Each structure stands twice: as C-alpha cells, then as structure tokens.
C-alpha cells in the first residue's frame, strides 16, 4: 500500500474497463485520482466507489475529441488537487465493423481513430506537462495496443493511431526525461472488458489458443502495469513499450499449429 501516496493522478476513459481498474487501484495505493470520462455519471460512480473505500477522487467530464474539454480536465485537476504527478492516457477505441482494410474501411473512421486514439493523447500530454513540471515531475502512461506491433487485416486506422502513440511516447520521454518526466506505454493484448466480451466465442477461442497464459487478460492486468510505471519503482524506466498480452507476441506465429501437429504425430495421426 502507499505506492502513490499523496500523488495526483488523472486516468482518462476511467468509467469502465481498464481505466476504471487503473483509477481504483491507484486510489488504493494512495493517489488522489481524477476520474475522467465522456460519461460523467459513470465517472462519478467510480469516484464515489473510490471514496467509499476511503480513497480520494473527483470526477470530470472528458470529451477526448475536444481540445477545450482536455484543457478543462487539466484545470479541474489543478484547481481541485493543486498538482499533477501521473497521467494515464487510456481513452481510445474504434468500430471494428467499419475500421477494416485500407481500401475497404469506411473512410470516416480514419480521422476519428486518429483524433480519439492519437491526437487526444498528444494534446493531453501537451496540456499536462506544464502542471506536471510545476509539481516536480511525474509519470505519463499511454495505452497503445498489440495491433500496433504487427500487421493484421483490421483495424487499420486504429492500429496506425496506436502506432503513433508508440513513437510519440518515445519523443516525450526524450524531450522531458531530463526534466523529471517519464513517459512509457502499455500495449495490451485481448482484455476482457465490456467492449471485448461481445466478441464471438470462436474469436475468443483463437486468442486463447495463441496466448501463453492459460486465460484471457483482465482489466486489472493492465492496471497493475500502469501502477508500476506510475510509481517510483520504475524511476529508471523511460520511453519503453510494455506488452501485457499473455505472451501472444513472444512466440513464433506457427507455434500453436506446430504443437497441435506434434501432438497428433506422437499418436501416429499426422504425416
């Protein structure tokens, strides 16, 4: 307990899923948490739950596509808590039914994905860094994605935006590291959030087959990684991309098929 004692943390997209888990965990570790989300009533519910557990939290409406809303979030943090030490840029998403291949996607997805997933992260950092510097430095944790690390058939716009987050993370680390600001990113694999669970069971089965852990990811898996990167335990880590995907990307993509083939061969059923 107390790994973020008396630090001030903003978590965006904090009403559900990864953001909610991150906000509640940071509060349990002593942070004063700003719960920022488009759905203010849901954000207020998360903040109330934190306070009910003895933590400190406030809620603020955040439209990540609106620069004025991002500016208001930072001002809320300054006026409510007087400082800023941690920024977890977690807001993001796409419509996978429309964000498909380059020539097949609904082109309106492109600007939306870039603005929601990349521009919002960039502008939040731009607005937060002056307050963070005035607070003596701190840690920025950006949420990218496993889809930014290898090619796939979809979602093209989302992957491009999250790839931009990776490059941007390294630039912030380079530009502000000597001033006491660390900037790292987490690349989640499939995490069972409210958005992920409607996926067909066949898709979940494919991920399970390729995941080295014997389960799917949970929001808390990402929250614990964010907590570590936000805490002083990671003071010598800067500009890094941490994959939290149960080992999906660590192995050769043929491994699952080869293991299955070897099992059949050992029983005399494969040639």
Query: Tokens in use for 269?
Result: 């059923």
> How many CB atoms neighbour CB 79 within 10 A?
8
CB 58 within 8 A of CB 35: yes
Burial class (CB in 10 A: 0-12, 13-18, 19+), 13: buried
Q: Which residues are catalytic?
A: 158
223 vs 18: CA distance, rounded Å: 6
152 vs 95: CA distance, rounded Å: 15
Q: Which helix (H) or strand (E) holds 186?
A: strand 181-188
> How many CB atoms neighbour CB 112 within 10 A?
19
Dihedral in degrees, nearest 10, Cα atoms 63, 69, 71, 77:
-80
């Amino acid at each position: 307990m107390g790994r973020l004692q008396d630090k001030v943390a903003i978590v965006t997209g904090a009403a559900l899923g990864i953001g909610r888990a991150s906000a509640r965990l940071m509060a349990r570790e002593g942070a004063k948490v700003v719960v920022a989300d488009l759905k203010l009533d849901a954000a207020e519910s998360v903040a109330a739950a934190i306070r009910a557990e003895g933590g400190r939290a406030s809620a603020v409406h955040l439209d990540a596509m609106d620069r004025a809303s991002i500016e208001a979030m930072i001002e809320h943090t300054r006026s409510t808590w007087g400082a800023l030490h941690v920024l977890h840029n977690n807001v993001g998403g796409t419509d996978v039914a429309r964000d498909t291949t380059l020539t097949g996607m609904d082109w309106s997805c492109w600007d939306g994905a870039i603005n929601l997933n990349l521009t919002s992260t960039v502008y939040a950092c731009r607005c937060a860094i002056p307050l963070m510097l005035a607070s003596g430095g701190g840690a920025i944790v950006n949420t990218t994605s496993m889809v930014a690390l290898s090619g796939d058939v979809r979602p093209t716009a989302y992957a491009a935006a999250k790839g931009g987050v990776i490059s941007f993370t390294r630039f912030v680390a380079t530009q502000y590291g000597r001033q006491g600001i660390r900037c790292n990113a987490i690349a989640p694999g499939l995490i069972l959030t409210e958005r992920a669970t409607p996926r067909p069971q066949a898709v979940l089965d494919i991920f399970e087959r390729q995941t080295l852990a014997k389960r799917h990811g949970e929001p808390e898996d990402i929250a614990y990684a964010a907590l570590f990167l936000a805490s002083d335990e990671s003071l010598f880590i800067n500009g890094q991309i941490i994959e939290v995907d149960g080992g999906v990307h660590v192995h050769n993509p043929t491994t699952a098929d080869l293991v299955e083939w070897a099992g059949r061969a050992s029983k005399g059923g494969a040639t």
